């Protein structure tokens, strides 16, 4: 795009004195190109020129760039951190997207069309047409076996995943269990090994064959990757040592749900377990889940 047309475009400014959806149009176009490439090569890490955003690097700047590049004015937006809509950073990110892209927001995952998330997938069964944008701190699942991108890029290119399989094996031999807690590495459609971001293992099987689009944005690491709908996603595991999700002692203290992801909080001095997806929990208590 020529500089002049861009200047003309930026003259048509949105509500907060910034361009519509904050980013300039050429930045959005670049992010969209990376997203399209990523969808064509599920699980493959696509570099992009990550812009400096009005949030700190490492605080969701990658997810934010994707959300601002794909958002449309008729979207309904949900932003969560740890499953919680009211978490401080989630609220700040939601306000930025909603203000500059002039979209409605919701806390109900079922009616959101665009969901930006850190560390969780909402408990509701999401459906076709929904886009989930994940904030990614460390894009490369092979970082644990080699910190140099020059090496791990070659491993990905050659499909050489022996190092991470060996890592898994050594865990089992030494510890009796895999030491991967969150960010459990997955194989995508029989091809690339991918980090599903720091979602807990509880959420990993929910990516397999999921009807929604998953877009992963790492702003600090300037990387985007994606899962198109109905992609096969398999956690790396040996046949005789199956993948395990987190186990919890008891249902949610608040809503009584079992099978949801729980975190601990204090209730009258006692530690209790409650759903990390706060809106799902609220709706269950109100009988509208």
Partner 1 sequence: MYSTVRDMSGAIEAAARLAELREAVGVANGPDRLIAALPLLVDQVAAEAGVFAPHVCARALGQAAGDVVRAVSLVRAWAATLPRVAHTRAGLDDMRIFRRITPAFRAPARGQYLGASLDYAQRLLDFGDGLPVGIPLKPSRNGHGAAEDPLGPESLPRTWDDDRRPEDAPSNGLGAAGGFPRAALTLEREGLLGLVDPPARPFDRTRNQAQPHGDRGAFLQLLSRSETGSLTALAYSAQRGFGQRQDPTLIELRQGSLPLRMRRPDTAREFVLGWIPVTTAEVAMYRMHDGQPDARLTLGFGATLGRVERRAIAAAVLDATCARAVQQPPSVKEPSEDEELLTAILDGQEASGFVEHLKLPHHVTFTSDLDRLRQVRGSNGE
The neighbour count for residue 89, using CB atoms within 10 Å, is 16
Active-site hit among 43, 60, 217, 219: 43
The catalytically annotated residue of 62, 63, 83, 255 is: 255
Distances (CA, A) of 240 to 66, 169, 172, 232: 39, 12, 11, 21
Query: Phi and psi of 218, rounded to 5°?
Result: -115, 100
Least spacing, CB of residue 118 vs partner 1, in Å: 7
Closer to partner 1 by Cβ: residue 8 or 128? 8
Residues in contact with partner 1 by CB under 8 A are 3, 6-7, 10, 18-19, 22-24, 26-27, 47-54, 56-59, 61, 81-84, 86-89, 91-92, 118-120, 137, 147-150, 153, 175-183, 198-202, 220, 222, 244, 246-247, 261-266, 276
For partner 1, the closer of residues 187 and 203 by Cβ is 203
Q: Which residues contact 197 (CB under 8 A, 6 or more apart)?
A: 119, 134, 135, 136, 137, 183, 216
Taking the least distance from each CB to partner 1, the nearer of 176 and 190 is 176
Nearer Cβ to partner 1, position 45 or 231? 45
Cα–Cα distance, 200 to 202 (Å, whole number): 5
- Residue 275 is a catalytic residue: yes
Nearest Cα residue to 217 out of 129, 124, 93: 93
Q: Is 250 left (phi over 0), alpha (psi -120 to 50) or beta?
A: left
- Write down the least CB distance from residue 110 to partner 1, Å: 21
Task: Kindly state the smallest distance separating residue 138's Cβ from partner 1, in Å.
Answer: 9
Find, among 213, 235, 236, the residue nearest to 225 by Cα: 213
- The strand pairing partners of 4, in sequence order, are none
Q: How far is the CB of 159 from partner 1 (least distance, A)?
A: 20
Minimum Å gap between C-beta 117 and partner 1 is 10
By C-beta, is 266 or 288 nearer to partner 1? 266
40 is catalytic: no
Per the residue annotation, which of 60, 62, 83, 252 is the catalytic one? Answer: 252
Which residues carry out catalysis? 43, 252, 255, 275, 281
């Amino acid at each position: 795009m020529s500089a002049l047309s861009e200047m003309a475009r930026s003259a048509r400014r949105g509500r907060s004195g910034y361009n519509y959806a904050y980013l300039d149009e050429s930045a959005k176009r670049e992010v969209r190109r990376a997203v399209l490439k990523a969808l064509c090569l599920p699980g493959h890490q696509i570099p992009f020129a990550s812009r400096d955003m009005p949030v700190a690097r490492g605080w969701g700047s990658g997810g934010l760039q994707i959300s601002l590049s794909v958002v449309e004015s008729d979207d309904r937006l949900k932003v969560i951190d740890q499953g919680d809509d009211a978490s401080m950073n989630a609220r700040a990110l939601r306000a930025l997207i909603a203000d500059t892209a002039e979209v409605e927001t919701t806390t109900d995952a079922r009616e959101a069309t665009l969901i930006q998330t850190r560390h969780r997938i909402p408990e509701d069964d999401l459906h076709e047409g929904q886009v989930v944008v994940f904030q990614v701190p460390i894009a490369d699942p092979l970082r644990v076996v080699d910190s140099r991108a020059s090496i791990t890029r070659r491993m990905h290119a050659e499909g050489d995943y022996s190092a991470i399989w060996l890592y898994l094996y050594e865990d089992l031999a030494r510890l009796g269990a895999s030491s991967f807690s969150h960010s459990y590495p997955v194989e995508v459609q029989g091809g690339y090994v991918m980090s599903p971001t720091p979602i807990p293992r509880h959420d990993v099987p929910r990516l397999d064959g999921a009807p929604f689009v998953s877009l992963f944005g790492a702003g600090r690491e300037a990387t985007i990757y994606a899962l198109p709908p109905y992609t096969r996603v398999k956690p790396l595991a040996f046949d005789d040592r199956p993948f395990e999700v987190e186990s919890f002692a008891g249902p949610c203290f608040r809503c009584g749900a079992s099978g949801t992801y729980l975190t601990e909080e204090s209730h009258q001095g006692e530690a209790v377990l409650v759903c990390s997806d706060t809106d799902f929990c609220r709706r269950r208590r109100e009988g509208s889940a």
